[in-house]
Amino acid sequence: MFIENPNKKETYSFRVKPDLLERIKNYAKATNQTVPEILNEMIDEKTKGLHLTNDYLENTIATTNIIGLPPLEDIYNKGKYKEFGLFFESQNRLLYEVQQVPNNLDIWTDTKGYTSDERGADHEGISFVLAPDLITKPEYLETPELLFCCLVPIYFKISVKKQTIQAKNISFTKALDKIRASPNMDLLDEFTKSTELVKFIIHSYYNKFKTATENPDGTFTAGEYKYSNRNQLLLDIYNKLLIELNEATIQVNINVINHYDKAIERQQGKQYGTELGADSTINDLREENRALKDMLKENQAKSKELEERANELETEISTLKDITNKYNDILKKLDKLETINLTEEFVEDSNNTE
């Protein structure tokens, strides 16, 4: 059985000044050490106690990784964005699992490495969660600002000393202020990319709804599609919006996953004999999910075609009824004329006989 070497080393080459190398060699000789041993000790001493990255923290704090997002209308709060604590609350919440806790708002210090300058916090971070499942009503299409709240900036505040993690949703204005106060340009790029993507999707479907025209017969037309009523228009655009937003979650939700999806992933992992599911299993599930979404789009398109054909047939039937009614009226008139002619002939014959 192969046992991995716990003291495994990696080779790394670098340039050094000749006089400095000579000094290190002399120091090594005087202390009966090798040059690599001295360099390792110096690096260890220089970086000891420093947090050297500002992306994600190691999971060393014993706390739940489940967060619960409140209903969309509660977050929107009639235009006055409301913050909620997201840990330890699951009733009437949409659950997500945090894969890694971010510290991307930390700043560099020579004494602690990357750390927070926020009082009572050792680290700070922001994650973005795109949660289309928060959009539970087609009527939300009438308020794009409400729809946009399905993209949730989540602020994490971590105390290593107290062994606690706080998580709450914050407004886009507050998120942008915190990001601008940090030197993390990658995070600013992520914020811009995520918000612009979601805004574009929402406004494209909102505009489809707002520019739909109502016809004299009560039907609605949006682009090349025709709908029998307003509710059917809303429902179709709503379904298409959710499909596209769900596709966008792959780009936005970097370190969080829907709790329901993760539960499926874990179950699949058990079936394949892995603890949490192999990457191939996850990819297969994603491919299957994309295929189902494509199938749904195709079925919706076919449904639209059938609906349009049904509307055409209804128009043709109505036209045929009008023609039939007119034809029947003509026949009735002809019958009356024929009866009048026969009566006149009978009267004339009677007069001749006399």
Mean pLDDT per block of 10 residues along the chain (354 residues) reads 62 89 93 92 91 87 82 96 88 91 94 91 95 96 96 95 92 96 93 97 96 93 91 95 96 88 67 51 56 61 66 71 74 66 54 52
| Cα–Cα–Cα angle for 151, 153, 156, rounded to 5 degrees | 150
In a domain, 322, yes or no: no
How far is the C-alpha of 134 from the C-alpha of 137, rounded, in Å?
9
Range of the domain at 290: 66-316
In a domain, 283, yes or no: yes
In a domain, 23, yes or no: no
- 131 φψ region: left (φ > 0), alpha (ψ -120 to 50), beta (else): beta
CA nearest neighbour of 243 among 152, 320, 138, 132: 132
Domain count, the chain: 1
Predicted local confidence at residue 189, as pLDDT: 95
In a domain, 40, yes or no: no
**Model confidence, pTM:** 0.70
In a domain, 152, yes or no: yes
- CB neighbourhood size of 277 (10 A): 20
Residue 298, CB-side half-sphere exposure with 13 Å CA sphere: 6
Which H or E element spans position 126?
A: strand 123-130
In a domain, 150, yes or no: yes
How far is the C-alpha of 122 from the C-alpha of 323, rounded, in Å?
82
Predicted local confidence at residue 352, as pLDDT: 55
In a domain, 49, yes or no: no
In a domain, 336, yes or no: no
Beta strand 94-98 pairing with 225-227 = unpaired
Helix (H, G, I), strand (E, B) or coil at 11: coil
For the record, the structure tokens of 40 come out as 């390792």
